[in-house]
Structure 1
């Protein structure tokens, strides 16, 4: 039975990975599709016992799924929910819409678009670990949405910026749920992780990357934007019902990711955590479609070596930008700017694979050559 159940989970994983790019109806209703896949995966997981522990449905998992969208992040040290941030920010932007438009028009009048894009990506990437990845993503999409830039260029800018935000948020426990979980799990011996633990471990890789993302964003903008000076900075203001609908979609999306993460946990516990550092780095490319906080909760423990922890975290943080379900900022940005799964993947997958290769070389090759 375990073999058949594991095979069923693998089939669901492949469906999640493939169908949003092949079926337009699924692409347009991604939240509902992922929710259905999460429910199915969690049901199948109930037939699998890992180390004698039964997985699958439980009241605790249902409670976690229902509460997670409204209670899992930190904003300036205060625990708040992703849905509340999306809703309140949307309403504030609705009511102060004209002032925001005036500010962006003034900014475009003073600075070139290339400078704005570079600074936007770098600054939001660097501060996302302090203001939370969610708030950084909301600021990003509102500014990009109002820029006089063609749709393709907006999509590419946002994808690159979400890579930066997702990676930058990994530097403190305030950035995203993954970092909160990791610091909590490593708070005891031998690592005694505190507020600066992740910055000290990952900062050498992450901070220079922000400037690289800024350059990549400008290069992609110059390639895709044809210099159409007739484009307007003014965009249509979201209605209040649209704002509530977007918050509801974010809620359903996060519930679906919790179910998917818990449903795939038997595979993670049985096969993933015993993998070597390089293998752990590459296997975490699955965070492109799974909740990286759930993966971190399953993988990270004080029993891992320091290199295994670094490898796992970098794999999770980098791969999270490749597809829309990989990170909360991706979900927020794609929903606001109406970016489809295939549109995101055209930029996200090549960029993500290239980054995975670069960081693999940086993380492992010096050690293999005896240089580290």
Structure 2
């Protein structure tokens, strides 16, 4: 009965945000409620669990960085616009965005996925693109950062947990995954280039950035909300609070499903486990990795688990920390994200499966 209830909760997490607009607009609260229900159903809710959740440094680090960077951007937005304006005066926007996604993906394992994502979204804010185009660039950028951050234990919690669980060296993940991840980041950057070429033909690249500096009205219309309004102090604080709630929700969901993962998922064969890991699109992939990664695994098994988790993590907003930050700051809804996140994630999964198990 418990297992059936947990499967039902997981299906609700996947489906309801796409059916009900109120849930889509209040995704953080919905996931928090689902997380609480999951821990109650699996009987993992306890004071000890709550203590662990609220003692997680990542909860406060991510919230603090988002809050501080939001205020910094609020104070330096005109200078930031000038820099973007200067760059776009020298190179085409397609090339600029492609370079940004490439560089941030490659260095995210050093500067962390959090910082890389904040840089990405602040740049996207100021690009003269329609909202639909910005969503596509954000999704591709978050995929790139999510993959790149996994190359060292500094980049994100998933890689930290894996290196710690295996008692591996600092460069272990780079050594076994670099040959897969670096080409993936390059391909993602090229994808952004060709998408923007197509969007230019459709007229989705808007006025030159210079106008954002000289006409207040143009600023108010960009992103359907003013950049200045979007980065107002109140909005910065509210977004940071939502991200705080989001992380708590994912922690509770992960812990609620951990007994189910330990019971059914961990012992599956490599090929089946590769596809089952698509659940990390809705759960915290670090939690799934913590359950599946053990010192007894062969290197090929570690590769399969991590590549499937990384590809799946970009499918939905709740799949990864970069997605959560980007969607919150750019006001991207679940339906908007999944239009590109789902096909891109599925394609990457099929490619990795062919490379790992067929070729």
| TM-score, structure 1 as length reference | 0.89
Q: Output one character per residue of 1:238-267: Cα deviation in whole Å (capped at 9) or x when no partner.
A: 111111111100000000000000001111
| Residues in 2 aligned to 1:120 and 1:230: alpha-carbon distance in whole angstroms | 19
| TM-score, structure 2 as length reference | 0.92
Structure 1 residue 92 corresponds to structure 2 residue 92? no
The residue that corresponds to 1:197 in the other structure is 172
Q: Structure 2 matches for 1:139-288, cutoff 5 A?
A: 139-187=119-167, 193-225=168-200, 226-227=202-203, 230-231=206-207, 233=209, 234=212, 235=219, 236-237=227-228, 238-288=231-281
| Residues in 2 aligned to 1:356 and 1:26: alpha-carbon distance in whole angstroms | 28
Q: 1:63 aligns with which of 41, 51, 69?
A: 51
Q: 1:37 aligns with which of 28, 34, 37?
A: 34
Deviation, 1:219, is 1.9
Structure 1 residue 8 corresponds to structure 2 residue 5? yes
Structure 1 gaps of 5+ residues are 47-55, 74-79, 188-192, 367-372
| Residues in 2 aligned to 1:264 and 1:228: alpha-carbon distance in whole angstroms | 42
The residue that corresponds to 1:50 in the other structure is none
The residue that corresponds to 1:326 in the other structure is 319
Contact 1:277 1:307 in 2 (8 A): no
Q: Structure 2 matches for 1:117-136, cutoff 5 A?
A: 117-136=97-116
| Residues in 2 aligned to 1:232 and 1:63: alpha-carbon distance in whole angstroms | 50
Structure 2 gaps of 5+ residues are 213-218, 220-226
Give SS of 2:55's match: helix
Deviation, 1:231, is 2.4
Contact 1:172 1:196 in 2 (8 A): yes
| Residues in 1 aligned to 2:311 and 2:261: alpha-carbon distance in whole angstroms | 19
Give SS of 2:14's match: helix
Change (3 A) 1:31 1:58: same
Give SS of 1:110's match: coil
Deviation, 1:67, is 3.0
| Residues in 1 aligned to 2:20 and 2:275: alpha-carbon distance in whole angstroms | 28
Change (3 A) 1:103 1:60: same
The residue that corresponds to 1:355 in the other structure is 348
Aligned length: 341
Q: Structure 2 matches for 1:276-315, cutoff 5 A?
A: 276-315=269-308
Contact 1:152 1:224 in 2 (8 A): no
Contact 1:322 1:349 in 2 (8 A): yes
| Residues in 2 aligned to 1:82 and 1:257: alpha-carbon distance in whole angstroms | 14
Deviation, 1:327, is 0.4
| Residues in 2 aligned to 1:119 and 1:98: alpha-carbon distance in whole angstroms | 22
Deviation, 1:229, is 6.0
Structure 1 residue 25 corresponds to structure 2 residue 22? yes
Q: 1:81 aligns with which of 61, 65, 83?
A: 61
Deviation, 1:326, is 0.3
| Residues in 1 aligned to 2:244 and 2:146: alpha-carbon distance in whole angstroms | 19
Give SS of 2:143's match: helix
Which structure: greater helix fraction? 2
Give SS of 2:89's match: helix
